[in-house]
Amino acid sequence: MKFGVCIPHYGRPIDIDALTNMAVQAEQMGFDSVWVTDHIIVPHQIPGRQDIVYRHDMLEPISLLTHLGAVTTKVNIGTSVVILPYRNPIILAKAIATADVLSKGRVIFGAAVGWMEGEFQALNAPFADRGRVSNEYLALLKELWAKPTPAFQGEYFQFSDVTFSPMPVQKPHPPIWVGGGSRRGVRRAVEFGDYWHPSQMGPQEVAKNAAYMRRYLSLRHNGRGGRVDGRG
C-alpha cells in the first residue's frame, strides 16, 4: 500500500516555507506522493455548499506542482485533480510535460470533469458539455505526450504538421488518474486513463463503483459495448 498527502495550498494564509517543508518532510518520511488540487475563481454563492475551502489563498496548481518538484528529489508529485475543461489542453500538455521533465519523471496526472457550475461560467468553459470536452482533451493529451509529431482531429481541436517538444520523461506518458464518482466517471477512467481516482467517497461506494468497473472492463474485453446494467 502507498500513501500520499495533499498539500494544503488553499483556505489559509499562504506560507510558502510551510508548504515547501511539508513536501520535503513527506519525502523524508517515505510518503509515495504529494498532491495539489485545482480551483481558479470561486463563486461567492454555491447552492447547497457552505463548506468550500478553496475560495481564499488558492495557489495555481501547475505552478505549485513544478515548485514542489524542484524542492524534492524522489517523491511523486500529482494533481488531484486538474479540471480538464478549464484549460486549453495543448497548453496544459506543455505544462505537465515540463513538470515531468523538470522533476525527472515524477508527475502523476490526475484529472476530472469538474462540478462547480459558477466557476465554469466565470471561466467561459462549457459546463453542459464538460464530459464530452474532457474525453476529447484526454485523448488529445495522450496524443501530444506520446508522439513528437502529433496529429489530432477532434470536435474542439484539430492540428497536424506540428512538433511537440519536450515530451514527458515517463513513457508513453505520465500516469493518468481519472477522477469522478459517477458511472460516467468510472467509464472515463477505463477508456482514457490508467487508474480510477475516487475522492471523498466512502468504502461502500468505492466497492460498488469498483465492481461496476470490473463488469465494464469485462464487457470491453469481450468486444461488447453499451450499458453494464439498466442504469448505464
pLDDT at residue 139, as a whole number: 98
Evaluate whether 207 touches 158 at the Cβ level (below 8 Å): no
Helix (H, G, I), strand (E, B) or coil at 200: coil
> Tell me: the pLDDT tens digits for 83-134?
999 999 999 999 999 999 999 999 999 999 999 999 999 999 999 999 999 9
Place of cell 510518503: 31
DSSP-derived secondary structure letter, 85: G
- Which parts of the chain are beta strand (E)? 4-6, 33-36, 76-79, 82-83, 107-112, 152-153, 158-159, 176-179, 195-197
Whose cell is 458511472? That residue is: 183
**Residue 183 contacts by C-beta under 8 Å, 6 or more apart in sequence?**
209, 212, 228, 231, 232
Judging by DSSP bridges, how do beta strands 158-159 and 152-153 pair with one another?
antiparallel
CA of 156: how far to CAs of 87, 122, 135, in Å? Answer: 12, 20, 11
CA angle 10/12/16 to nearest 5° reads 75
Per-residue model confidence (pLDDT) at position 229: 44
pLDDT digits over 12-39, tens only? 899 999 999 999 999 999 999 999 999 9
Provide mean pLDDT across the span 59-72.
97
Amino acid at site 43: P
User: Measuring CA to CA, which residue among 186, 179, 181 is closest to residue 227?
Assistant: 186
Residue 140 has pLDDT above 90, yes or no: yes
| Residue 51 to residue 58: CA distance in whole angstroms | 15
Comparing CA positions, the residue from 183, 188, 189, 178 lying closest to residue 227 is 183
| CA terminus-to-terminus distance, the chain | 32
Nearest to 181, CA basis, from 89, 83, 87, 115: 115
pLDDT tens for each residue of 33-56: 999 999 999 999 888 787 788 889
214 or 95, greater pLDDT = 95
Share of the chain above pLDDT 70, in %: 96
Q: Residue 230's pLDDT band (boundaries 50, 70, 90)?
A: very low
Cβ(68)–Cβ(102) under 8 Å? no
Rg (CA), the chain: 18
Has residue 224 got a pLDDT over 80?
Answer: no
β-pair type (158-159, 176-179): unpaired
**In the predicted model, what is the mean pLDDT of the chain?**
92
More confident residue, 157 or 197: 157
pLDDT at 225: 52
Q: Is the pLDDT at 168 greater than 50, yes or no?
A: yes
Does pLDDT of 210 surpass 90?
no
